[in-house]
Amino acid sequence: MSDPALRVRDLKKHYPDPGGGRMLALDVPSLDVGRGEALCMRGESGSGKTTLLNVIAGILPADEGTVEIAGERMTGLSETRRDALRARHIGYLFQTFNLLPGLTALENVQLGMSFRPRHGASPRKAASDALDRVGLADRKRHRPAQLSVGQQQRVAIARALAGHPTLVLADEPTSNLDRNLADQCMELLTSFAAESEAALLVVTHDETLLERFERVETLAAPVGSPA
């Protein structure tokens, strides 16, 4: 049997606090996401949602515990190796999109997936296909500033999904969008992930997203952390 897309055990992350001590920001005893499964993790502001995704993706190192992506250990690796493991398996949809302003839509998507195994297609073809899939076939040469907010979000979705990642992480994907755009974005994200057989982990405080997911869990702020 193949390993799950994500396996987390006894994961803890602290931040320095202004008093010179350290504060527990994340405490997750156990979390698994199966291959192709979609999970919505709800949590109040400050509960550690962004920290959780950053530690899973290896953008931040963990202090304790383990993260495995498709059976490969993320925790304990050097930053360079974490970057490589992330590039191979993970698509990340950032809360503020994080598109590079000097690059076209096509270049942004291509850059985002350039280290991912690609089932044969060239990076440019895979990026182009992903933009077709999100309805931006006629916007590939536009730069982010030449696109509407909804179109920028679709470029970010294409970048996260292009080239068949094992796991897609989405940080509050609707927080910068009005209700109508939020619905379109979630429809696109969940359907594209399902087609790609990517596991999807969405973190949010937006309760209206929950009904789209068969599986919903709650991230509790660690005991003793400030409200």
**Where do contacts with ligand ADP occur on this chain (CB under 6 A)?**
15, 25, 43, 45-51, 225-226
Answer yes or no whether residue 204 interacts with Mg ion by CB under 5 A.
no
What is the rounded CA–CA span in Å between residue 177 and residue 34? Answer: 29
Binding site partner of 128, from ligand ADP, Mg ion, none, Cβ cut-off 5-8 A by kind: none
Residues 6+ apart with CB under 8 A from 16: 22, 23
Size of the site for Mg ion (CB under 5 A): 2
Least separation, in Å, of the C-beta of 72 and ligand ADP? 24
Q: What are phi and psi of 171, to 5 degrees?
A: -100, 105
What is the rounded CA–CA span in Å between residue 223 and residue 227? Answer: 10
Binding site partner of 51, from ligand ADP, Mg ion, none, Cβ cut-off 5-8 A by kind: ligand ADP
For ligand ADP, the closer CB: 36 or 46 = 46
Strands 215-218 and 38-42: parallel
Answer yes or no whether residue 50 interacts with Mg ion by CB under 5 A.
yes
For ligand ADP, the closer CB: 48 or 173 = 48
Whether the Cβ atoms of residue 115 and residue 102 lie closer than 8 Å to each other: no
Interface contacts to Mg ion, rule CB under 5 A: 49-50
